[in-house]
Amino acid sequence: MFRNSSLKIGAVVLTAGAFAAISSPIARASSHSDAPLIKLDPQANLTDVYAFVGTKYDDPSIEVLNVLANVRPFSEPGDGPHYDRFSPDARYSLHITNPASGETVLRYDFQFSAVDEGYKNINTILSYGLGTAPGQIQSIGDAQQNYTQTYSVVRRGNGRESRIAQDIVVAPPNVGSNVTALYNDADGRSVSGATSLQELDSLTLQAIQDGSNGEALFAGPRDDSFYSDIPGVFDLLNIRILDNTGSLADGLGQDGNGVDGFRGFNVLTFGVQIPLSELPEFQYNDAFFGQQTGVGAYASVSRRALTRRVQGDDIRSFGPWIQVNRLGNPLFNEGLVAFADKDRFNSTKPTQDNQFATHAANSELAALINLVFNTQFQTNDRQDLVAVFIPDVLRVATTTGPVPLSGQDGFSRLGFIGNDLTGGVSSGWPNGRRFGDDVVDIALTAIASGPTYAEITVVGDNVAANDVQFNAVFPYAATPHSGSNNSKDSIPAPAPDPINPGDIDGDGDVDVFDLLILLDNFGSSN
């Protein structure tokens, strides 16, 4: 397949309907709603996993593997007084695996403190802004921060386990300009896009802590780093997704007219930087670039087998840990695995993933497209997709050196499709995954172009970027949105047609409907 950087980016002509069919089933989200049971347990629901080679946050001479995971989809930034917190009776795990078999060889387990104790002041309704003193939080855990969650991390591997961190603070939520001004600008909106440690806000910086074995750790709320036009997909394929006013040579769904359905929402992020010197090396076959050396990575969340409730306010969990969710590659369980297997997938390990290979090899998605739109996508024996998704771990080539990050020279959201290569392999997914990788467009392009990839058909959902800039330093995810000033409800209305200024509804004509809108706007402003 692809073994060098001389990729010819072409496009075949697809009907708008065929493009719609490609987008709708797979582009629901990276993994925000991947299975029925985990949908009922948001605090344990993984949304995205990232793994890529970089340098340690405070020492550029040390190359590391960054592994970060997001949980708690659609976290409302202004959901006071408690705001979202990590569940104290869950175990959040980051796995390093053999990339070929999916077997875990190293695991980092994060466990968080209780949410119903540890307050400075229980005689108030405020978790933040009033502890033993009122005002802005200047440092994590100060007198103005009533509640501070903490966590411990245990490293398990080679038959040994060690606690590498104890009672590390979780970054606070971004309450708003009166409480967490250090996250925000003068208008009360979160500031992101730091290119150096010195530019990172002090609350995030304080939450970066070193483990006892050379790792760096972080946990706290961040912006939801996934981007896609989910609302348009479920609005019976709103025209903004199908629109393609540019050149077909640029691909389908690449004009940027979609709306990011995850804009303005936060998630909970936990992550680790692991020195490459601490990692094993495995030989594996990259789906597009052949033999490589590296590791696999995925995340899981487990809960105790039993929970006892006594009078509602005494909740205790005990028994063995039971895995309730896992995630490696974006889109697999949510976009390819059928309902019959979704919950079972979440309870199994990547070493058992051959049982799910049929969902990649025999593409129901391609079959539906062919049935409805008379296209000729190959529906069976899609071994190219099996090579990407089975076992379901992110495979990371660790010999390439640090990869370019979003906003840096050489970065392309499309990875190797955009000629973004590092050390002869794609800089982004499916070689690991970076913040900013457009996994929806990459996946749709693979489905449309494979299994031969003789010609690349670039297909997307018209959303080409996150709603805010990512940081270029650990923990990389963008600053959490402010509870009192975020972007969910500030989607701009379509501009009037410049040729027909009276065409308010944008249908190409000046008619009675434009007049009705004008009168309604006038009435609402008086």
Specify if 364 maps to a domain. Answer: yes
> Residue 12 has which token pair?
């075949």
pLDDT of residue 327: 97
User: Which segments within 423-503 are labelled E, that is strand?
Assistant: 425-426
Specify if 457 maps to a domain. Answer: yes
Specify if 140 maps to a domain. Answer: no
Contact status, residue 110 vs residue 219, Cβ threshold 8 Å: yes
Residues 399 and 504 in one domain: no
Residues 214, 243: Cα–Cα separation, whole Å: 49
Residues 307 and 424 in one domain: yes
> Residue 369 has which token pair?
């497209």
Nearest to 389 by CA among 296, 493, 459, 299: 296
Specify if 56 maps to a domain. Answer: yes
Specify if 142 maps to a domain. Answer: no
Cα dihedral 204/262/85/316 (nearest 10): -150
Compute CA 365 distance to the chain's CA centroid, rounded to the nearest angstrom: 23
Residues 421 and 448 in one domain: yes
Amino acid identity, residue 205? Answer: L
Amino acid identity, residue 140? Answer: I
Residue for token pair 């049935």: 371
Residues 96, 235: Cα–Cα separation, whole Å: 39
Nearest to 44 by CA among 107, 87, 95: 87
Tens digit of pLDDT for each residue in 406-415? 999 999 999 9
Residues 473 and 346 in one domain: yes
Residues 432 and 477 in one domain: yes
For residue 291, give its domain range.
16-113+149-489
Residues 391, 101: Cα–Cα separation, whole Å: 7
Residues 412 and 516 in one domain: no
Beta strands 150-157 and 314-327 are: unpaired
Residues 502, 505: Cα–Cα separation, whole Å: 9
C-alpha dist (Å) from residue 522 to 177, 511, 526: 32, 17, 7
How many structural domains compose the chain?
2
Low-confidence ranges of the chain (pLDDT < 70): 1-29, 233-234, 236-239, 241-250, 312, 365-366, 368-375, 489-526
Specify if 330 maps to a domain. Answer: yes
User: Which segments within 265-333 are labelled E, that is strand?
Assistant: 266-275, 282-286, 290-310, 314-327
Residues 302, 14: Cα–Cα separation, whole Å: 43
Residues 298 and 160 in one domain: yes
pLDDT of residue 34: 87
Residues 500 and 403 in one domain: no
Specify if 500 maps to a domain. Answer: yes
Residues 525 and 394 in one domain: no
Residues 442 and 506 in one domain: no
Residues 474 and 497 in one domain: no
Residues 62, 79: Cα–Cα separation, whole Å: 39
Specify if 10 maps to a domain. Answer: no
Tens digit of pLDDT for each residue in 471-500? 999 999 999 999 999 877 544 434 333 434
Compute CA 39 distance to the chain's CA centroid, rounded to the nearest angstrom: 16
Q: What is the pTM of this model?
A: 0.87
Residues 31 and 54 in one domain: yes
Nearest 5°: phi and psi at 164? Answer: -95, -10
